[in-house]
Amino acid sequence: DGGITQSPKYLFRKEGQNVTLSCEQNLNHDAMYWYRQDPGQGLRLIYYSQIVNDFQKGDIAEGYSVSREKKESFPLTVTSAQKNPTAFYLCASSIDRRQGRGRTGELFFGEGSRLTVL
Amino acid sequence: GQNIDQPTEMTATEGAIVQINCTYQTSGFNGLFWYQQHAGEAPTFLSYNVLDGLEEKGRFSSFLSRSKGYSYLLLKELQMKDSASYLCAVRWRSNDYKLSFGAGTTVTVRA
């Protein structure tokens, strides 16, 4: 079955450490996204990528980095520069967000990764 | 800005009906999605509206008024499993077609 796989599901990190969250999809989707979710707040976009070897900053990119070397993979690194990294991180993909019509902008989400900084 | 407003919490009884409202900025509007998210899980797609009117899908319906910048999600015949957060997400041409999410409405269904 096609889907999006995130790992790890739970991650603990000490302050000052970088961590990388994995996101893999076998839906053959062009676009991939990373969102952060905090209690009482909506999903906020960290980074997104429309195509391999290309990505753009979202609304809260500071302290994060990404790469898109393969269509299937879009890992997110939470660096020590991120001041408040404890959160629930969601990876998503869509067929083509630029079509601008129909449901093709629909996001398919992974199960999420919960990061806790100790 | 591109504020999306929805109530924080709603409570209803099993078997009842609940309506979750969502208001948004109309300029550049290009579609609205509703997602359901159970605690600690990924959001799942419920509905999509881009034209005015009602979209019905089983116990769930979604309505859109483009001129008013208003949508609602209607949950009928509530079941305990409907206890979840419901997210309103809007796509704007001016935001490069990316989805922006409201804070979500937590619905609690009581027996």
Q: Is A27 within 8 Å of chain B by CB? A: no
Q: What is the DSSP letter of B10?
A: E
Q: Model confidence over A64-116: pLDDT tens digits?
A: 999 999 999 999 999 988 889 999 999 999 886 555 445 667 889 999 999 99
User: A67 with A59: CB under 8 angstroms?
Assistant: no
Taken in order A95, A97, A100, A103, the sign of the CA dihedral is: positive
Query: Which of A43, A48, A101 to mutate against chain B (most B CBs within 10 Å)?
Result: A43
Q: pLDDT tens-digit profile of A75-85?
A: 999 998 888 99
Q: Residue A9: which residues within 8 A CB-CB, separation 6 or more?
A: A111, A112, A113, A114
Taking the mean position of all CA atoms in its chain, how far away is CA B58? 15
Contacts of B96 (CB under 8 A, 6+ apart): A98
- Among chain B residues, the shortest Cα distance to A4 is held by B42
* A41-A73-A54-A116 Cα dihedral, nearest 10 degrees: 30
